[in-house]
Amino acid sequence: MTSDAAPPFIRLGPDEPNSPVVVSVPHAGRNYGPQLLGGSRLPQSALELLEDRLADRLVWRATEAGVVTFVAQAPRAEIDLNREERELDPAIIAPPLPPAHVVQSARIRGGIGLIPTRITGFGAIWRSPIPRDELTRRITQIHRPYHAAIDAALRAARARFGAAVLLDCHSMPPRPDGEPPIVFGDRHGTAAAPGLLDAAVSAAAVLGYRSALNDPYAGGHVVARHGRPDRNIHALQIEIDRSAYLDTELRAPGPGFAAICRLVAAVAEALEARILGTAQPLAAE
């Protein structure tokens, strides 16, 4: 059930850090290879519902400004980079994994563990269980290298600037009317210094966006794994309402797309300024 020979993720930006900010986009991969699709009982259009649709295209301004960025190419249907390695349904693997190798969670019960198992409205994804050696391949060739690359970039940024911060970029289904279109998560204060969250919220506010904090999304495995404030490495998650940047069918860029690209860049700029100790009010373009 592999995808194809394409790299599982790409690294954008300079070889050496120009900024203390590192950006991650783990759920925008679109390399659906024939083996992956052949193992699915659902069409590609259904598997695409697992994506943070076009979130990778929202970070171009930040990357152009010199931020090192990691963008998943492997689709979330193949492996979810925002899940812990053991957070998966043992029944989907053959032979089944021992209980000690599995961490239970509400996400597994909802079908969105390390290997997603079902999609709301469509049912089960896979025709048959995934061989254990295939699971091992996905972990060792996709999941671990992605996180190792992020870790290396954060350490390099800290070495140059004294501290580093990861901005983990996601999109979320359209929120009810009146709810903020942006949600920042720092694992309830455990993944980043409070001033960084304040800087991100302020940057969004300058551009006219209201933000919620840690509700309903506090940050997943990426933020939990890489946010180590005690080591001067911080991590924040940003969730963006898809209706704020996609068309009415939530498939293609919509009228708000350019503005959200500016938002992501402004948040990255504000985080950089706070790390460097030169925080200034940000003006809208």
Q: How do the domains of the chain map onto residue ranges?
A: 9-41+52-81+138-276
Q: Does domain 9-41+52-81+138-276 have CATH number 3.40.630.40?
A: yes
Contact criterion met (CB below 8 Å) for 8 and 146: yes
Q: Is the pLDDT of residue 279 over 60?
A: no
> pLDDT band at residue 101, thresholds of 50, 70 and 90?
confident
Query: What average pLDDT score do residues 225-243 get?
Result: 98
CA gap 22, 201 in Å, rounded:
18
CA gap 253, 245 in Å, rounded:
6
> pLDDT band at residue 50, thresholds of 50, 70 and 90?
very high
Which residues are CB-neighbours of 119 under 8 A, at least 6 positions away?
Answer: 42, 46, 47, 49, 50, 111, 125
Q: Is the pLDDT of residue 107 over 60?
A: yes
Percentage of the chain lying above the pLDDT 90 cut: 91
Write the pLDDT tens digit of every residue in 170-220: 999 999 999 999 999 999 999 999 999 999 999 999 999 999 999 999 999
CA gap 139, 97 in Å, rounded:
14
pTM above 0.85, yes or no: yes
Instruction: Give 15: exposed, middle or buried? Use CB within 10 Å, 0-12, 13-18, 19+.
Output: exposed
Contact criterion met (CB below 8 Å) for 142 and 136: no
pLDDT at 283: 33
Q: Is the pLDDT of residue 1 over 50?
A: no
CA gap 140, 146 in Å, rounded:
10
pLDDT at 250: 97
